[in-house]
Structure 1
Amino acid sequence: MFALFYIGTAFLTSYATSPTGMQLSRPVVLTTGIIASVFVAAATMASGILSDRFGRKKVIAASCIFAVPWSLVLFPLLSTGTVLAFGIGLTVTLVIFAIAYGPAGALLPELFETRYRYTGAGMGYNLAGVLGGGIVPLLAAQLITSTGGWGIGVLLAAIGVFSIACTVALPNTEKSGLEERPSEPLTEEGTTAV
């Protein structure tokens, strides 16, 4: 769901101040971003707590499910051109991301055996940021000129559907301790014992 984060923080900030976008003043847009970040912080903490109670996959899947319809209404909402519409659009977009982001810090390490945990979690997180999030604003800039906001909404909704499928495919790991994961013993030289 990095796509929502980068659309919210990078693309919408530019779109809101653009002469061909919402034409809002830069101070208003930046102030709105600061206010939205308070909601993002609260949603991140709350979703992390909820993921301990209900499961990481369920909380992340809920975020992805919310993202699909929201993606389709985001740009029609922004087309009204008001500061309130921008505030709601930015805040809800980033809060949906935050709901998935809260449990991610626990989920990613749980997916890997101890000896691969740091590398696996780090690579998964960073590749998701670059491929899942960093490319989307570039595509959005192209789509806004050819299809308007509708094309971006469809792109984000499709990413949401793909994210739901990926989340459902993940193993349930939160009920097992990290020390219970199978791992091959290492020799003194750091190679796998045969």
Structure 2
Amino acid sequence: MHDVRTVRNPSLLRLAAASLAGTAIEFYDFYVYGTAAALVLGPLFFPTVSPMAGTLAAFGTFAVGFVARPLGSALFGHIGDRRGRRPVLVASLLLTGTATVAVGCVPTYDTIGVAAPVLLLVLRFLQGLGLGGEWGGAVLLATEHAPPGRRVLWSSFPQIGPPLGFLLANSVVLGLSATLSDAQFASWGWRVPFWGAGVLAAAGLWLRSSLAESPRFLEIDDHARVPLAEVVRGHWRLVLLTAGALAVGYAVFYTVTTWSLAYATERLGVSRPVMLTCVMATVVVTGALTPLPALLGDRYGRRPLCLAGCAGVVLWTFPMVALLATGEPLLMFLGFLGAMLALLMMFAVIAAYLPELYEPRLRCTGAAVGYNLGGVLGGALTPIVATALAEHGGRVPWGVGAYLTAMGLLSLGCFALLPETRPAVAAAPKATPSTG
């Protein structure tokens, strides 16, 4: 068993740093595609349709990555529950990095015709497959090494990885946008961020090569033969509830970071660098603040923070879209920031919360499948739905606000049906999910 002294163990610090770096690299791979889909992939890979239809088609290939993520979580979850959390981190990073580099090498429609979007679709699927395994392995290594009283804090380090990955991806795109002409960026500049993924993946593999296996996994003596089958058979309701609970977080994040780029540049005439700067500033602030709600989650419980975050989204979505429609950088930033801070209340604690809902022998599969199904519900279709709603509205996309509000209410209801898992306040063992 682990006590509070484990927190001071330098190996835990190294593990947290490696988990953070790994999730940052993998989410860099995933986000750079979303940014490219919003800015350039439509005309390059779907030039035979209208600009709006091209954007929707590009967002369709974006959505395929989310569809693949639950499949990846089932595949890598099986490995994580049967063979250990550490192998998952290496294999998922290798797959995602290779697919991302390959995206940067795909010829456009003008060169190879319909084969171009088909290849894009396949590689995006492989990206999602790898990322589906990343999250579960990373957060479980952090959570299962940490003592019960600090699980949320230590598991929040991998959660800082996605904002860092987004910041890195968009910093590269912003730098290229500022130094290249539109023609140069459309010709070859958009490929550079994808090629850079190869260097990052190599660095991530080196960092993860020396990680120790989770001590909690090593204690398990009755590994599930087919973890996914046991999860579906015995915990299907829990999987559906966690997927619905997380849907609003994905919806908000990809509304802010992906759809808003296309909407503001195409409909409002805001320049690409201005929009990227607004979004990046928002992500920097929320990423830096991640440990604060994590500390609250350790002290007051996971569920109250999640309920508060959902309520915040419901209250702020209409002000956010109104501020976005102004096209003013400061007002857009404030709108994005309010929504992302509400999101942060949930995602700072969820890396500890989801694994605690499952017994250790199934949690790599159960937690990852629920997490990534939430991505399908909230992330895959959000840019497509938001684009369609905004197209048929006025200057202020109120339909997008209504959509996000509905997602917030869905997630609020799902969190209300989930139990608390913080050890100090959990109910009797008979009614409480495993907190080991």
Q: Are residue 117 (structure 1) and residue 374 (structure 2) matched?
A: no
User: 1:101-140 residue pairs with structure 2 within 5 A?
Assistant: 101-140=347-386
Aligned to 2:253: 5
Residues 73 and 182 of structure 1, relative CA distance in 2, 3 Å threshold = closer
1:5, 1:94 within 8 Å by CA — same for their partners in 2? yes
Q: How far apart are residue 146 of structure 1 and its match? A: 1.6
Q: What CA RMSD, in Å, does the superposition of the two structures yield over aligned residues?
A: 1.9
Unaligned runs of 5+ residues in structure 1 are 184-194
2:320, 2:338 within 8 Å by CA — same for their partners in 1? no
Identical pairs, percent = 38
Unaligned runs of 5+ residues in structure 2 are 1-248
SS of the residue corresponding to residue 348 of structure 2 reads helix
1:4, 1:93 within 8 Å by CA — same for their partners in 2? yes
SS of the residue corresponding to residue 114 of structure 1 reads coil
Aligned to 2:420: 172
* Corresponding letter in the other structure for 2:402: V
* Corresponding letter in the other structure for 1:17: T
Aligned to 2:179: none
Aligned to 1:155: 403
Q: Distance in 2 between matches of 1:182 and 1:4?
A: 28
For the pair shown, the structure with the greater C-alpha radius of gyration is 2
TM-score (norm 1): 0.85
- Map Cα deviations across residues 136-161 of structure 1 (whole Å, 9 max, x no partner): 11111110012341111011011111
1:43, 1:99 within 8 Å by CA — same for their partners in 2? no
* Corresponding letter in the other structure for 2:351: G
Residues 88 and 182 of structure 1, relative CA distance in 2, 3 Å threshold = closer
Q: How far apart are residue 102 of structure 1 and its match? A: 0.4
User: 1:1-194 residue pairs with structure 2 within 5 A?
Assistant: 1-18=249-266, 20=267, 22-148=268-394, 149-175=397-423
1:12, 1:90 within 8 Å by CA — same for their partners in 2? no
Q: How far apart are residue 95 of structure 1 and its match? A: 2.1
Q: How far apart are residue 24 of structure 1 and its match? A: 1.3
- Structure 1: 4+ residue segments shifted above 4 A: 180-183
* Corresponding letter in the other structure for 2:418: L
Q: Distance in 2 between matches of 1:182 and 1:100?
A: 19
Say which is worse superposed, 52-61 or 73-82, in terms of deviation.
Answer: 73-82
Q: How far apart are residue 44 of structure 1 and its match? A: 2.2
2:421, 2:433 within 8 Å by CA — same for their partners in 1? no
* Corresponding letter in the other structure for 1:24: V
Say which is worse superposed, 71-80 or 115-124, in terms of deviation.
Answer: 71-80
Residues 14 and 111 of structure 1, relative CA distance in 2, 3 Å threshold = same
Residues 182 and 141 of structure 1, relative CA distance in 2, 3 Å threshold = closer
Q: How far apart are residue 93 of structure 1 and its match? A: 2.1
Q: Distance in 1 between matches of 2:414 and 2:331?
A: 31
Q: Distance in 2 between matches of 1:104 and 1:59?
A: 9
Aligned to 2:69: none
- Map Cα deviations across residues 131-182 of structure 1 (whole Å, 9 max, x no partner): 22221111111100123411110110111111111111001111269xx778
Residues 114 and 8 of structure 1, relative CA distance in 2, 3 Å threshold = same
Q: Distance in 2 between matches of 1:182 and 1:154?
A: 34
Q: How far apart are residue 28 of structure 1 and its match? A: 1.3
SS of the residue corresponding to residue 419 of structure 2 reads coil
* Corresponding letter in the other structure for 2:380: G
1:64, 1:164 within 8 Å by CA — same for their partners in 2? yes
Q: How far apart are residue 71 of structure 1 and its match? A: 0.9
- Map Cα deviations across residues 101-123 of structure 1 (whole Å, 9 max, x no partner): 10010001011111111100110
1:16, 1:86 within 8 Å by CA — same for their partners in 2? no
Q: Distance in 2 between matches of 1:68 and 1:28?
A: 27
* Corresponding letter in the other structure for 1:159: M
